[in-house]
Each structure stands twice: as structure tokens, then as C-alpha cells.
Structure 1
Amino acid sequence: MTKIFFIGILFVSVNLSGSTKCFLCDHVQYPYACETVTTCGPDEICFIQEVVTQTGNVAFNSGCMPNTRCTNASVTYVGKRSGHSVRDSYDDITACTECCQGDYCNMKGCNAPEIPTDQRGLYCFACDNGNPENCTNVNMCQKGELCFLYTSVGKTYKSQCQTQALCDLLSHGLSKICDPVCCKTDFCNDQCRHA
């Protein structure tokens, strides 16, 4: 019985650690303007979709889609889409749907370019409480800012963009439920480093 229980835990751990993280938005002007992320299910990958609204505006939707709907690198669908999304719409005309594999790969696609990393700030998680690993809000920081994660009074986790100077200053004066994190790569402020 113990062996079966251990195998079950190992199986669940493997599935969770292999989950893809994708941007999740409806009707944003550009894919990189999305400020929400989600974790896909075990049989899902990221998608980006370009649509033309009833008013004639071009907009982008993103989220997770079942692998079975993404057999080609680039596919086009018309009508209602499935997968995680903020809302479904029958009113939009779908111009393009592309699927991709890898965390946050749907910040570009359908002929919408990604902003080069030397022309933008970092993508950082931006949440005020709860487990930092469950944060689904992201911001594109100003150039030169770092991603920051710390615990405030009352054991609340906060993640945000921060300047190097303030990051250094706040790192020394905060409650240390976990060590404050100042980091310099996209999406790096989702893990608490315990003191």
C-alpha cells in the first residue's frame, strides 16, 4: 500500500511540474500587453489568436488550448474557441490562431512581434498576498527595474517591479518569513527563498 501511495504522489508531482504557463487575455491590442497568466492542464499548450471585432478593430486573445486542437504550428478557426479564456465570443472574425510550446511563448504570434528584451523592462509578477507561486498578475516593468518579492508585516507576500536602490534598501529592513528576492530575469519573482 505504501508503494502505491508513493507512486501516486510522484505521478502528481511530475504532472504539476511539467505544466506550461501561458498568457491569458481577451481583446488586448498587442499580445505583449497581456497582464494575466495561467497554468495549462496536462494536455494543453499555449495559443495566440488574432481577431477582427464587430467594430473592425484588430485584437488578440491568448490562453491554453488542448493539444488535439493544435496539430499544426499555425491553424485558423472561425467561431467559438475552447480552452481557458476570459470570455468566448461569436461576434469576432478569427484571422489567425497559432499554438506554441513553452512557458509564456504566446506573448507573440499571429504576425504580432515580441518586443526585443533590450527595448523593454522585465516581466514581473505583481500580487499583494497569498502564495507567490499562485500569482497570475504580471506587469512589464520600466527599463532598469528588477522583479521583487518580499513578505510584509502580517506575513503577506508582495511581488512587484522595483528599482535596484529600493530593492536593496527594502531587502534589509523587511520581515524575513522568506528572504526578499531581487532578480533580473522575466517571471523570476514567484519563488520565496526561505531565511
Structure 2
Amino acid sequence: MNIIRLYAMFILLFITLTLHVICSISGDRGPVCYSCQSVSDISSCSTVDKCNKQQVCSIETDLLNAGKLNLGCKDTNNCSNYRTDFTCSSCCHGDLCNNKGCDIKEMPPQQGPICYTCHDQYTANECSQVTHCAADEACMLARVLTGDSVMFNGYCVNKFVCPSDEMIAVGKRELETYRKRQDFTLDCMKCCYDNLCNDIDCNSVGNTNAPVIDKLTSTAQTRTVPTTMVLSTLPRPVDGQFGSWSSWTPCPYSCGKDGIQHRFRHCDNPTPQNGGNNCIGPRIDTQFCHNNPCCTGPPVITYIDKDTFAHAGDFVTIHCNATHADSILWEGPKIVGHQFPDNVEVISGANLLVFSGIAHDNTGIYRCVAQNSCGVTSRYVKVDLI
């Protein structure tokens, strides 16, 4: 009886483990999220984390810490959307969805897929580094043999090295030729074109045309396939370089508050290609913008000189002072759309109208105009000759 009970427990344990494996393979997982702490901008984050199914992606900003960003996985119950004057938190569902949020919208345009880019990984899906590939590139996962070890390498590669059926079958002759040129043996290579698609072993997906490696003889025996393609030499990697900085964004407030302005640069001069390194350094620059107090009404002209009468050739100055004015300017006769005569000058910093050797052509009515965002105020003064 004990033997029967032990056998039944073994069968139950086997079924439980089998169901667990099936559920894991079926894709019952949480999202893949960007995962970086205290970065200046999202574009500089090239690390991801594979969350569990009870988690979501999050992004947090902290204006008190130079606007640094924190990205990663958070438990669904502990992640909420909120905003204060200095902090912001945003949660989302879906792979790589925390590349925006909390008013962070500016991102380099995605030309090609986002691919895993790791070297010498022991399993196909342990990579946590990603790269934005160029428009003419695809994701690639290569399985290679180095001695007795099996390693996986992920790249961005030019699409011309990828066959239309997304698999390369390398015959025995091609493997032998390639082995003579390299210090490793290419087992198989898979190309794909969707975000984060190159984390599945190329020998595990529809693998009817991948070569089988005989570990005792280190030779390859290729199964019968509809089409056999010769291995192409991978193109040379090109490291990315930053382009020029953009203009500063407008200050978020027109008055009353100090704000933060941003400018951006992209890794596009050139973009990384063929597994080349991404740009290193900040992609967003910030600075404070200082604004004047908000006005409570139009400016007030507190003083202007009385009507002025002078002899021809005299040196004459006329003053105009105002409070709460963003600017003060002078208007005069015969200058609508034109400049003052050569002997008349406006000293803007002192709000002065200066006549050097006043003449008959300078006589008339002059207007002092003070303005701010709430309105315009003006006063008039007459200038004439005795």
C-alpha cells in the first residue's frame, strides 16, 4: 500500500511540474520594462527587466534631483499615477511602455526594431541590454560553439544578411570553411523584425532546417531543407555618434513661476549599425528659466516731462517713467513705420528721448508707450520751438 501511495504522489508531482513548464512556455509573464535609476532621460536607458505577471512598468520623475528619472517594474498594488509640484509617477501595462509618461514625450524616432544586444550569454533569454536598431536592420540571435560551450549573441544586423524565412541553414562545407576563419563554430542564426524578438533559441522555433552538431566529432549534419543559404559575413559594426543639440523648449510658465526648459540630441550622426555601440552621454539637457512676476493690471506711467519749448539747436531731453512695465518706447510725428531723424535718439535703458540740436522738423506730439502682458498705457508730450 505504501508503494502505491508513493507512486501516486510521484505521478501528481510529475503532472504539477509538467503544467508549470507548459504555463511558463505559454508566455504567462509580465511586461518587459525599461529599468534604470537616476538617468537624465529615457533615451540613455538601454537596460530592461522582465517583470513577473503581478507587476507593471513605471516611470518616476524628481525635479528636486535635476529632473532625474527612475524606471523599472513595480507591483501592481504599489504603483499609482500621481503628480505633485516636484514629483510624478506613472504606471502602464505592456512591453517597454515606460518610455514616456509624466510629460516626458520627446524620444528619438524609432526607425527599426528594439533588439536584445548581448554577447556570450549562456541562455538565449538572459540578456537585459537593448538597442534601437536602424531602419534597414533586423534583430539577430546567433548560437555559436566555442570549444565545448554553447553561447548566444544578440545583434542589430543589416537585413540583407537575413533570409526571407528568418532562418539560415549552414551546410557542412560552409561550417568547415567558417571554422577555419573564426575561433568559433556558428550553429544557427535567427533574424526577426519585431521589438524584443531575438530572445528565443533559433534551434527551438520551427527548427527543421538548422544543422545538428555532433559533439563527439564536431561536424555538422544538415537536415533536408527546401532552401539552403550560404552564411554571409556579418557587416562591420558602426558606433553611434550624437548629432547637434536642438533649440531649448519654451519656458512652461509665462510669468509668476520659474520653470525648466529642455533641449535634445539624438544618436543619429550616425546611428549605431550592425551591433555597434550606442551613444554614451545625456540626450536631454535641462536648465531653469526665470520669469517676471505676473502682472495685476496694465503698467502705470508715474512721470513724464511737461510740454517742452526750446530754441533751435538746443540739446533737449524728455523723461518717461512707468511701473510694472515690460517695455517702454517712444513714438513721434512723421515716423510711423520709420526711424527717428538722425538728431533724435531713444535711450531705452533710461527711458529718455534725446534731441541733439533740435530743429523745426522735430516739433510735434510725442507719445510714451508702456506695456506688459496685461495691457498698454500711454502719455503724450508736445515739443515746439520758441
Q: TM-score, normalised by structure 2?
A: 0.40
Higher relative contact order (CA 8 A, sep 6+): 1
Write out the 4+ residue segments of structure 1 that deviate beyond 4 Å after TM superposition. 114-117, 171-176
**Paired residue for 1:75?**
82
**Paired residue for 2:70?**
61
Q: Secondary structure at the match of 1:14?
A: helix
**Paired residue for 1:24?**
35
> What value does the CA root-mean-square deviation take over the aligned residues?
2.9
Cα distance in 2 for residues equivalent to 1:158 and 1:113 = 32
Within 5 Å, which residues of 2 pair with 1:1-195? 1=9, 2-11=11-20, 13-14=22-23, 17-20=27-30, 21-54=32-65, 57-70=66-79, 72=80, 74-76=81-83, 95-113=87-105, 115=107, 119-129=110-120, 130-154=122-146, 155-167=150-162, 171=168, 175=185, 177=187, 179-194=188-203, 195=210
Cα distance in 2 for residues equivalent to 1:95 and 1:35 = 23
Note the C-alpha offset of 1:33: 3.2
Cα distance in 1 for residues equivalent to 2:143 and 2:86 = 43
Percent identity over paired residues: 28
Superimposed CA distance per residue, residues 73-128 of structure 1 (whole angstroms, 9 cap, x where no aligned partner): x2348xxxxxxxxxxxxxxx9621111112222122221227486x4332110111
Note the C-alpha offset of 1:4: 4.2
Contact preservation (8 Å) 2:115, 2:130: yes
Number of equivalences: 173
**Letter of the 1:39 counterpart:** K
Contact preservation (8 Å) 2:43, 2:108: no
Q: Secondary structure at the match of 1:99?
A: strand
Task: Work out which of the two has the higher radius of gyration on C-alpha atoms and give 1 or 2.
Answer: 2
Q: Secondary structure at the match of 2:61?
A: strand
Structure 1: gaps of 5 or more residues: 78-92
Cα distance in 2 for residues equivalent to 1:53 and 1:14 = 44
| CA spacing shift, 1:165–1:100, aligned 2, 3 Å | same
Q: Secondary structure at the match of 1:165?
A: helix
Q: Secondary structure at the match of 2:72?
A: strand
Cα distance in 2 for residues equivalent to 1:26 and 1:165 = 37
- Between structures 1 and 2, the one with greater helix share: 1
Cα distance in 1 for residues equivalent to 2:106 and 2:123 = 29
**Paired residue for 1:86?**
none
Superimposed CA distance per residue, residues 127-151 of structure 1 (whole angstroms, 9 cap, x where no aligned partner): 1122121111111122321111112
Cα distance in 2 for residues equivalent to 1:153 and 1:98 = 44
